[in-house]
Amino acid sequence: QLHRSTDEAFPPTWTAMPSPSVVLTTSGYDHTIRFWEATSGICYRTLQYTESQVNRLEITPDKRHLAAAGNPHIKLYDVNSNNPQPVATFEGHTGNVTAVGFQKDSKWLYSGSEDGTVKIWDMRAPGCQREYESRASVNTVVLHPNQGELISGDQHGNIRVWDLTANSCSCELVPEVGTAVRSISVASDASLVVAANNHGTCYVWRLLRESTMATHFEPLHKLKAHNGYILKCLLSPDVQYLATASSDKTVKLWNLDGFKLEKELKGHQKWVWDCVFSVDAAYLVTASSDTTARLWDLSSGEAIRIYSGHQKAVVCCSLNDSASDQREEEQ
Residue pLDDT tens, the chain, 331 long: 333 344 556 665 565 444 568 999 999 999 999 999 999 999 999 999 999 999 999 999 999 999 999 999 999 999 999 999 999 999 999 999 999 999 999 999 999 999 999 999 999 887 899 999 999 999 999 999 999 999 999 999 999 999 999 999 999 999 999 999 999 999 999 999 999 999 999 999 999 876 556 678 999 999 999 999 999 999 999 999 999 999 999 999 999 999 999 999 999 999 999 999 999 999 999 999 999 999 999 999 999 999 999 999 999 999 999 986 444 444 3
**pTM of the predicted structure, to 2 decimals:** 0.93
Report the alpha-carbon distance of residue 210 to residue 216 in Å, rounded: 7
Residues with Cβ within 8 Å of residue 308, at least 6 apart in sequence: 41, 291, 292
Residues with Cβ within 8 Å of residue 5, at least 6 apart in sequence: none
Please tell me what DSSP assigns to residue 18: P
Please tell me what DSSP assigns to residue 92: -
